[in-house]
């Protein structure tokens, strides 16, 4: 150990002149890069990002800190990797710079591209997502409750009454069970048995259930979800409803 190492506390005090250049990894990644190279001053970026100050002062200070880290990055990194040849050291820092550019440019660009595709593909996606969500929830609730119903020798009005018993804040009007949701909307579940003298059959599709939000006039339109059932308490979504259930809330399936 030479005399400089005693005073500075580390080797690599004398950095080659060819490495005295701006470090883009330290500039763009601050504390991420700093954790690797034990440059603890870079961690000042965390409170500057997290806590907001008047007149956007935190972002001004952050920018100053980033510039400072960029100019001093090679010096800090060389204290840790002083044993590397200049060419190898520079190659490592270039990889950090490439990673930083990917994180700051390519990843946001990819996310933006996906969002644009999402919006262009289906401009009414908020409505469609709500539609698919209510089909998925309806299917889950019907399968859970329908097994407890008495289906044989009954009417659609009786089915509506049986369902209403399983939910608070529900009421029955004819063949419709209306459930008051926490958001204040009414949710209608409508039973239809076309011929009470004939057994319900999935292949005949002669008994069905429709679910829909009771939306105020002028609101956006949501298509009812349709399910068929038989006397064995099997439930089958129609083609449209099945597609809605398959998509559910997974936004990537809309792209």
pTM score of the predicted model? 0.51
Average of pLDDT values for 111-137? 73
Name the strands in the sheet holding 170-173, side by side, starting at the edge strand that comes first in the sequence. Answer: 170-173, 176-180, 186-193, 207-214, 225-229, 235-237
pLDDT in tens, 224-251: 899 999 988 899 999 999 988 887 765 5
Mean residue pLDDT across the chain: 84
Average of pLDDT values for 189-214? 89
What are the residue ranges spanned by the domains of the chain? 3-121, 125-254
Residues 6 or more apart in contact with residue 210 via CB below 8 angstroms = 188, 189, 190, 192, 224, 225, 226, 227
pLDDT in tens, 20-79: 899 999 999 999 999 999 999 999 999 998 888 888 899 999 999 999 999 999 999 998
């Amino acid at each position: 150990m030479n005399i400089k190492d005693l005073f500075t506390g580390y080797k690599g005090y004398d950095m080659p002149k060819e490495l005295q250049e701006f470090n883009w990894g330290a500039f763009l990644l601050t504390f991420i890069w700093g954790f690797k190279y034990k440059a603890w001053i870079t961690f000042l970026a965390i409170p500057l990002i997290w806590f907001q100050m008047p007149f956007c002062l935190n972002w001004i200070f952050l920018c100053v800190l980033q510039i400072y880290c960029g100019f001093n990055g090679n010096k800090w990194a060389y204290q840790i990797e002083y044993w590397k040849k200049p060419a190898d050291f520079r190659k490592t820092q270039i990889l950090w710079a490439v990673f930083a550019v990917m994180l700051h440019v390519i990843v946001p660009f990819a996310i933006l591209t996906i969002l644009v595709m999402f919006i262009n593909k289906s401009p009414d996606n908020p409505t469609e997502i709500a539609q698919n969500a209510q089909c998925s929830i309806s299917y889950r609730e019907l399968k859970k409750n329908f097994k407890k119903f008495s289906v044989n020798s009954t009417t659609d009005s009786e089915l509506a009454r049986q369902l209403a018993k399983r939910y608070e804040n529900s009421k029955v009007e004819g063949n419709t069970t209306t459930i008051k949701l926490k958001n204040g909307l009414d949710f209608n579940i409508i039973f239809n048995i076309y011929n009470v003298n004939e057994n319900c059959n999935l292949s005949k599709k002669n008994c069905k259930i429709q679910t829909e939000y009771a939306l105020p006039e002028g609101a956006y339109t949501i298509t009812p979800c349709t399910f068929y059932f038989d006397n064995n308490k099997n439930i089958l979504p129609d083609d449209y409803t099945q597609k809605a259930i398959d998509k559910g809330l997974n936004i990537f399936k809309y792209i």
